Structure formats: structure tokens, C-alpha cells
Amino acid sequence: MGRGPARSILPNSEDVNEAAFAYYAPLERARQYVERTLPRAIALGDAARAAGLERTYFSSYFHAKVGLRFSQWVAGLRIQRSMAILRSRDETITELALAVGFQDLRSFERAFRRWTAMTPRAYKKLVRPC
């Protein structure tokens, strides 16, 4: 994950203010927490604590500064990580979903399609043709 100015971290998302993480220390602390714990379940309250903010305030603050809800941003990070894994090695879609922190295959497939406009299987075929 780079930290360049205003570089989008999510596929197909020009609305993400990536620079906010470098500019606002609470957001940078939250980002570091999320990057360390991405494969596990990440509660909004835990990220808020890492940022040093109250849960409800953190939710509004994150959305206002970054341009996405926290849960959308985390899902996007997971999709980005899954895309990198698919490019580098062969894994089943189910293994991949669990490895990047989705609790079930269906949620992963819906999120993947939302961010990339294609299914994980179609992306896998695109980047790892047999």
C-alpha cells in the first residue's frame, strides 16, 4: 500500500481521498490498525480506538474525510488484496475470501463484483489463464 498523494487505494474509486490518511493522524492510525488486522474481523469500535476517537464520531469523521464509509473502505482493501493474491498465486476462491477477511464466499463475491464489475472467477481467468 503506497502512501502517495491522493492515490486511490480501491479499484474503480475516484471518490476516495487517499491524502486524508497522511494528513489526519487519527486516520493514519486507523489505517495502520486495519492493515495489520485485515484478514480478521475488524469492528468499527476497534478501529475507532486505534484512531483515538469515539466510535460514532470516528464513523462520521472517516466518511467526511475519506469519502467512503469505513466498512466500504475495508471491503475495498480486502478486494485489492485479493486481486494481488490472484495475480501472484493460484488459490481457490473460497480460500482467497477467507484469507483476506471475508466471513463467507457469498459476501466476498458480492463485494468483488461491486468493486471490479466482474466475478472473482472471471478475474482469476483473466490474470491466470490456464
Tell me if domain 19-74 and domain 75-127 are identical in fold. yes
pLDDT tens figures, 68-80: 999 999 999 999 9
Q: What is the pTM of this model?
A: 0.84
Specify the fold of 19-74: Arc Repressor Mutant, subunit A (1.10.10)
Instruction: Provide DSSP, the chain.
Output: ----TT---STT-SS--THHHHH-HHHHHHHHHHHHHTTS---HHHHHHHHTS-HHHHHHHHHHHHSS-HHHHHHHHHHHHHHHHHHHS---HHHHHHHTT-SSHHHHHHHHHHHHSS-HHHHHHHHS--
Alpha-carbon gap, residue 119 to 82, rounded angstroms: 12
pLDDT tens figures, 13-65: 566 888 999 999 999 999 999 999 999 999 999 999 999 999 999 999 999 99
CATH code, 75-127: 1.10.10.60
Domain ranges in the chain are: 19-74, 75-127
Alpha-carbon gap, residue 129 to 98, rounded angstroms: 23
